[in-house]
Amino acid sequence: MSNRKWIGWILMIAVLVGFCAFQIHPPRKIGLNIPKGWPQPETNWFATNPVTEEGFQLGRKLFYDGRLSKDGNFPCAGCHQQFAAFSTFDHDLSHGFNNALTTRNAPVLQNLIWMPAFHWDGGVNHLEVQPLSPITSPGEMAESLPSVISKLKADPKYRTMFRSAFNSDSITSQRMLQALAQFMGSLISSQSKYDAVKAGKAQFSISEAAGYQVFLQHCNRCHTEPLFTNNSFQNTGLQPSSRLYDIGRARITSIPSDSFKFKVPSLRNSTVSAPYMHDGRFATLSQVLNHYRKGMVHPGVSVDSLIAAGLPITPQQQLDLFSFLYTLKDDTFLKNPRFGPPPAEKSRSQQQPASHNYH
Amino acid sequence: MKWYLYFTGCLLLLTLTSVAQKKKPVHDQMGILELHISHSQNQVPLRIGGTFQNQLGQSFTLRKLKYYLSGFSISQVAATPSYYLVDIADSNSCTIRLKLPAGIYNRLYGWIGVDSAANCSGAQTGVLDPVHDMFWTWNTGYIQFKIEGDAESSSAPNGKMEYHIGGYRHPFNTIQQITLQPKSHMEIRAGRTTRMVLQMELYHFWEAAGISFSERPVVAVPGEQAVKLARAFKTCFQIID
């Protein structure tokens, strides 16, 4: 074999090895950090979908991308705003495509890996399939799944990101949903003042400490520490809306006694996630507490027995309870730039002053 | 990159096949059963856009007929289920190929619908990809079968009849096991393909469901009605050799 041929072979092999090393660079596993002292999640969603830096970043881009909606105006982040713990700030119901309103209050997105079912009625059983609901709902993002996939396939940036997240060229709904799950599953709020107190790194004020006692006595059974929800479905004696007529959990189970039951929301970051209840009917925490003290109605089906008689809380106890609820606000989570828009989306949204996100 | 992958792929395949050939036991020889699904209504071939009548003589124009089949097996306990989405608008989907161990059988077991494990495992791909429009987003789960059409007698505001049947939660689980019996027997020969016709006669569904388009033009949520219709749907299938 001539020298030239040898050089050719060596070069080819070198190029190949280099190319492979560059291309088959596996996504970097980052996993999820379970805060100290918290229960292990019962869900095992990331066994088949390990959280990687590339997958997280892809999920983050998708979360902030309006192209997942029919007219481009309604990214997931439109109704799930970080500063409101990923709920819709100051909106009882949220805005969707073609001036539609949703029929329920946008829930906060935090600590989702401890949540066995999504939606106020628990109809969705897995984090990966949750986004299908807002994407295809006519009053929300109003888009079809095949159309979303073809928009993603047409974008070279997405092709690169899917390849580096999943080590393969195919863009499928499964991969899009897995990437979104990686981003959403990473939204863990565990660094509030309450958490610092529990870790022995801070102290409650007198009022906060008194409020914590009120909480333990009256709220902890359903809003159970450390997640501040036990993920159960309860009827809290709200007068059913004659317009929305939402039967809650019974819509999923078809069990009459589940009528008007809704999922217990977490109290974490509740001071920034107003309005409250499944239909956002209460604008303030005072209204919520007034309801629990003396506003509950009994529409023929069982109101949770723990609260049915009304919570015996004095005005002073209520103030202390509010002080305590403020200790559940997690600024590290609410302002973490890693959970915010990716740099490219940020500059795009800055060019559009009339963004749908903040009306 | 691709070249490299193909190369490694081929190497791997070669290694695997050589290993497999050495270890393959005699009783593990597999053959193919090719099921051609033939759809009819009152013995008239079903087609999209065709007009037919239900058991009450109410006529309808068929717009959609799609359903899942899964977990075919020659024993009642299925191994890892494979899923098939049959759509009468797509003739390719009406032929399914099953890999079965060679032997002579007088029964074939299978399921209409998707098992609850697949309903609870998050985002799926292939025929279970939600792009196929056989998935409920508001109450997680696959639609086991879908029948849609226009019907004069329908009391629905859009003049349609629409049966989207699904639900995996107890007590309203809609997956149905079917037992298919060939007239005599079926023989699967190692490395060979056996062909059989699976007849799907939709009239049996209307009859067993007892549906009137004027009274119940739509069923599209899990529950008691869905279970009743799922049981009716399973009466449609029969192997006719």
The model's pLDDT over A178-208, given as tens digits with 9 standing for 90+, comes to: 999 999 999 999 999 999 999 999 999 999 9
pLDDT of residue A13: 72
**B interface residues, A as partner, C-beta within 8 Å:** 1, 4, 119-125, 129-131, 135, 137-140, 169, 172, 221-224
Q: At A295, is the pLDDT very low, low, confident or very high (cuts 50, 70, 90)?
A: confident
**pLDDT, tens only, A67-122:** 999 999 999 999 999 999 999 999 999 999 999 999 999 999 999 999 999 999 99
Q: Given this model, what pLDDT does residue A308 score? A: 80
What phi and psi values does residue A220 have, to the nearest 5 degrees?
-65, -20
Asked if A243 contacts A313 with a C-beta cutoff of 8 angstroms, the reply is no
Q: From CA B69, how far away is CA B81, in angstroms rounded?
A: 10
**Angle subtended at Cα A145 by Cα A143 and Cα A148, rounded to the nearest 5 degrees:** 75
SS3 sequence, A133-178? HHHHCCCCCCCCHHHHHHHHHCCHHHHHHHHHHHCCCCCCHHHHHH
The residue among A211, A220, A193 whose CA lies nearest residue A320 is: A211
Predicted local distance difference test score (pLDDT) of residue B18: 46
State residue B194's pLDDT score: 95
pLDDT of residue A352: 45
Check CB contact under 8 Å for B123 and A178.
yes
Contact B123 A252 (CB under 8 A): no
Average pLDDT on B199-223 reads: 96
* Residue carrying structure tokens 């500063």: A83
pLDDT for B22 beyond 80: no
Find chain A residues with C-beta within 8 A of B138's C-beta. Answer: 119, 123-124, 133, 137
* Confidence label for B64 from pLDDT (cuts 50, 70 and 90): very high
CB contact under 8 A, A181 and B122: yes
Neighbours of A94 (CB within 10 A): 22
pLDDT at A152: 98
Q: What is the pLDDT of residues A3-14, one digit of tens each?
A: 667 777 777 776
Euclidean distance between CA atoms A271 and A326, whole angstroms: 6
| Torsion B199-B204-B209-B215 (CA) sign | positive
Q: Sign of the C-alpha dihedral, residues A193, A196, A197, A203?
A: negative
Which ipTM value was assigned to this complex?
0.84
Contacts of B9 in chain A (CB under 8 A): none
* B137·A137 Cβ contact <8 A: yes
- The lowest-confidence range among A44-48, A132-136, A309-313 is A309-313
Q: Does A25 touch chain B (CB under 8 A)?
A: no
SS3 B45: strand
Rounded to whole angstroms, the Cα distance separating A86 from A189 reads: 11
pLDDT, averaged across chain A:
91
Strand ranges (E), chain B:
30-41, 44-45, 51-53, 59-73, 83-87, 95-101, 103-105, 108-112, 135-136, 141-150, 160-166, 176-180, 186-188, 193-201, 218-219, 237-239
Alpha carbon distance B68, B185 (integer Å): 25
Confidence category of residue A56, pLDDT binned at 50, 70, 90: very high
Structural element, H or E, at residue B230: helix B224-233
pLDDT of A345 reads: 58
User: How far B127 CA sits from the closest chain A CA (Å)?
Assistant: 12
Distance CA A39, CA A41 (A): 6
If pLDDT is split at 50, 70 and 90, which confidence band does B23 have?
Answer: very low
CA distance A29 to A20: 20
pLDDT at A282 over 80: yes
- Maximal CA-CA distance, chain A: 96
pLDDT of amino acid A15: 62
CB-based burial, A151-173: b 16+ in 10 Å, e otherwise: ebeeeeebeebbbbbbeeeebbb
Lowest mean pLDDT among A61-65, A81-85, A90-94, A344-348: A344-348
Nearest chain B residue to A131 by CA: give it: B137
Query: What's the mean pLDDT in A295-320?
Result: 84
| Most distant pair of Cα atoms in chain B: their distance | 65
Least confident of A233-237, A335-339, B80-84: B80-84
Name the amino acid, one letter, at A240: P
